[in-house]
Amino acid sequence: MKRVLVVRNDKIGDFMLAWPAFAMLKESTDYHITALVPGYTQPLAELCPSIDQVIIDPGKEANSTAQQDLLEQLKSGVFDAVICLFSNFRNAKLMWQAGIKQRWAPATKLAQLLYNHRVTQRRSQSAKPEYEYNLDLIRAFLQHNQLAIIEPQAPYLSFDKDDLADFKIAQAQQLGIAAQKPWLLVHAGSGGSANNLSVEQYADLTRQLRYLYPQLQTVLTAGPGEQTLAQQVVDKVGEGAVLAHDLALPDFCRLLACGSLFVAGSTGPLHIAAALDVPTVGFFPLRRSATPLRWRPLNSEGRHLAFHPPINAEVEDMSQVDISEVTKTVTPWAREYLS
Per-residue model confidence (pLDDT) at position 287:
85
Say how far apart CA 105 and CA 115 lie, in whole Å. Answer: 7
pLDDT digits (tens, 9 = 90+) for 303-333: 999 999 998 877 678 999 999 999 999 999 9
Q: In this predicted structure, what is the pLDDT of residue 194?
A: 64
- CATH number assigned to the domain covering 161-338: 3.40.50.2000
How far is residue 98 from each of residues 46, 72, 79, 103, 228, measured CA to CA in Å?
Answer: 24, 8, 9, 10, 44
Give yes or no for a contact between 100 and 79, defined as CB atoms under 8 angstroms apart.
yes
Burial class for 228, CB neighbours closer than 10 Å (0-12, 13-18, 19+): exposed
Same fold, 3-144 and 161-338: yes
**Domain positions in the chain:** 3-144, 161-338
Phi/psi at 58 (5° precision) = -70, -10
Residues of the chain with pLDDT under 70: 192-194, 315
The confidence score (pLDDT) of residue 110 equals 77
Q: For 3-144, which CATH class?
A: alpha beta
